[in-house]
Amino acid sequence: MIVTPGSVTLADLESIYREQRSVTLCPEARPAVEIAAKVVAQAAAGGEAVYGVNTGFGKLASQKIAPEDTEKLQENLILSHCCGVGDALSVPLTRLMMVLKLLSLGRGASGVRWDICALLEGMLASGVVPVVPHQGSVGASGDLAPLAHMAAVMTGAGEAVIDGQRMPGNEALAQAELTPVVLGPKEGLALINGTQFSTACALAGLFEAQRAVENSIIIAAMSTDAIMGSTAPLAAEIHSLRGHQGQIDVAAKMRALMAGSEIRESHVVDDHRVQDPYCIRCQPQVVGAALDVVRMAGRTLEIEANAVTDNPLVLTGEGRIVSGGNFHAEPVGFAADQIALALAEIGAISQRRVALMVDPTLSYDLPPFLTPNPGLNSGFMIAEVTTAALMSENKHLANPCVTDSTPTSANQEDHVSMAAHGAFRLMRMAENLSVIQGVEAMCSSQGVEVRAPLKTSDALQSVVDRLRVDVKTLTDDRYLAPDIQTAANLVRNGAFCEVVAHD
C-alpha cells in the first residue's frame, strides 16, 4: 500500500492491521522530509543549543553536547530508553505501530533523513518485527520505552522476530538484507518521541469495537426471535424522534435482519406480554449510544494516526526547530476510555440477554437453560455464569485511565496521559466481549431452533447455519469450553458479519 502522510483513513489502517500489509510512503513525501533534515543538519553544525539536536533530554535538556558526540547522544538515548517489560506486543500491533511512525516521519516535520523512512519500509516489507514489551509507557513525552525497542532494532540492537524466529536485531536485519542505521542529530528522539504505541493499540481496540457493534446487532436480533420478542420497539419513528444516529442505525439494521421471520409473525397478535425486558427493547438505545461513542473515538484516532507527535518539531516554513507538546497522548487516552466504556456496555446488555434466554420464567416457553432434558442436563447454566464473570471483569477494566496522571522524570514530565495501558487493555476487553457474544449466539441459535417448525428470517438463519458448521446443537451435556471458544472466534473473526453481508 502506497500511503500519503496526513491522508490515511481508518479503512486503510484497518486493512494494514488485519491483513498486515506492507506500506511505502508516496514519492511526493520525500522533498518535505529532506528539507526538514537539512534544517536539523544546519542546527547541529551551529553553536546554538537546540533541544534534542545538541542537548541532553528531559530534565537534562540544559546540558550542551559537543558536536563530535552527536551520534553517541542518539545511540545512548535509544539504549537507555529500552526499559520496557512484560509480554511482547503482537506482530499485527507492532507492524501497525511502525506504520504510524512512518506516517508521522513522512509529514516532514521531524527532521530525519529519508534513510530512516526507507529502513522502516524495508522492515515492514521483509517482515522484520521488533520485539516490543507492552509495559513501560505513561503516554507522555511519547511512548518512549516501546518505541525505543523498535528504534533499537533499526540500529542493530534489541531483538526482532522474522519468519517466526526471535533473534538479535542485527541478525534479523542481516537476514532481511537490510543495513542498520547510524542515527544522526535528532533522529533517535524523532523515533521514540510520539504516540504511535498508544495509537496503534487504541486503533486495534476501535476496530474490535466496530466489529462488536456489528455482531451485537446480528446476535441481538437472533435473541429477540429466540424469546419471541416484539419488533415494535424497532419502529423507525421512535428512533427518529430521539435523533441519535447510532440508535437510528442499529434499529434499522435489526428491522432489516428480522424481516420475514415466521417466528415474529406468529405472535404479532394475541401475545399476552405487553413489553419485553430492556435488554431486548432498549438494544438500539444502548448499542446505538455505544456506536456513536465508537464513531467519535474513531474520528479522534484518525486524526492522531496522521499527526506529527514527536518533539521538537521542524517548522520548515520558518526554518526553525521548536519545542512543543504533541507527544502528550491525552486525545488517545480519552478515545481509549470511550472505547472501553462502549465495549463494557455492549457486553453488559448481551449478558442480560443470555440470562434471559436460560431463565424459564422469562424466556417465553424456552426450556430451562436451553436443554431438552433439564435436570439430568444443565445445558447453558454455567456458560451464562462465565458471561457474567467476563461482563464484570470488563466493567472493572472500563474504569478511566486518562485521569490517573502521575509525575515522572524528576517532575519535568509532571502530567501524563496513561494512554498506553488505557489503549492496551482494550484487547483484553474485546476478547472477553467476544466470549460473551459467542455464548449469546449459541443460546439464541438454540432458542431459534426450539421454535421449529416456525422459522426465523433468511438472514438470521444464515447465521445459525454458519454457527452450526463448527458448533453443533446442544442436546445432552458435553464438554462445552471448546465450543465456547469456537463461537467466540467466529464472532471476533467476523464470520457472522460476512454471512449476513453475503445474504
Residues identified as active-site: 51
Q: Which residues pair with 161 in a beta bridge?
A: 129, 166
Strands 165-168 and 313-315: unpaired
User: Shortest CA distance to 94 belongs to which of 107, 84, 108?
Assistant: 84
Grid cell for residue 52: 534534542
Return the amino acid letter for 105: L
Let me know: does 349 contact 279? Beta carbons within 8 Å.
yes
Burial zone of 203 (CB within 10 Å; 0-12 exposed, 13-18 middle, 19+ buried): buried
Let me know: does 369 contact 477? Beta carbons within 8 Å.
no
From CA 222, how far away is CA 461, in angstroms rounded? 9
From CA 499, how far away is CA 353, in angstroms rounded? 22
Q: Residue 468: which residues within 8 A CB-CB, separation 6 or more?
A: 445
The total of other beta-carbon atoms located within 10 Å of residue 177's CB is 8
Terminal alpha carbon distance of the chain: 30
Let me know: does 326 contact 313? Beta carbons within 8 Å.
yes
From CA 184, how far away is CA 180, in angstroms rounded? 13
Enclosing H/E stretch for 406? none
Let me know: does 209 contact 294? Beta carbons within 8 Å.
yes
Torsion of CA 151, 157, 159, 164, to 10 degrees: 90
